[in-house]
Amino acid sequence: MRLRYGAAMAAKGGRTAVVAVEVREGREPGTGRLVHRHHVGHLERAEPFTVDEARDRLLRLTLATADVQPCTFIDVGTPQGEALARALRGRYPPELHRAHAYPGTGARSPLFAAVLDGLSKGTLTFEPGLPHRAELDRALVFYGGGKKRQTVELESEDEALVIALGLATTFSTHGPAARPIAADE
């Protein structure tokens, strides 16, 4: 199983977004091209708003799923994200590789584009009844990379949801062997 965590701290303060995604892998019939499906099974906003709470939450999730060798990507395009990445250093047991730091600066558009692509193709799905799903949907509509869009400024923590989801669905080939895509997917 290929399990991925994406984490992003709100740049202007607020709850840290943590998203867990299972990546499935297969070959496209006819072409043999490698394809991926992403299923969001966990979506949360960690409270309180501190780096320590975000660190502890990621550690709890990672250690609880250590048997499948999860991989974590952290947005370090903000000072809070950089602090989170530093706070995690040396905290993972030796059998797990440490969290990856995603620079974020100027590179958020590809994350957002990948999320939209997955949604439009049906390769990005969600577990029913996820908390904060309506907030994520709103954030996806108004996401603009931190810029005003049609007089609606996206809240910092809503933007963090989009970024965390993008991080959890990128670098799909990285990590342990993925479960195969089911015939009905």
CA gap 65, 62 in Å, rounded: 5
Q: Print pLDDT tens along the chain (185 aa).
A: 999 999 999 888 788 999 999 999 999 988 999 999 999 999 999 888 899 999 999 999 999 999 999 999 999 988 899 999 999 999 988 888 889 999 866 567 888 888 999 999 999 999 999 999 999 998 898 886 545 444 444 577 888 899 999 999 988 999 899 999 987 77
Non-local CB neighbours of 136 within 8 Å, separated by 6+ positions: 43, 161, 162, 165
The partner residues of 81 in beta bridges, in order of sequence, read: none
Distance CA 61, CA 5 (A): 9
Is CATH 1.20.1250.20 what the domain over 2-174 is classified as, yes or no?
A: no
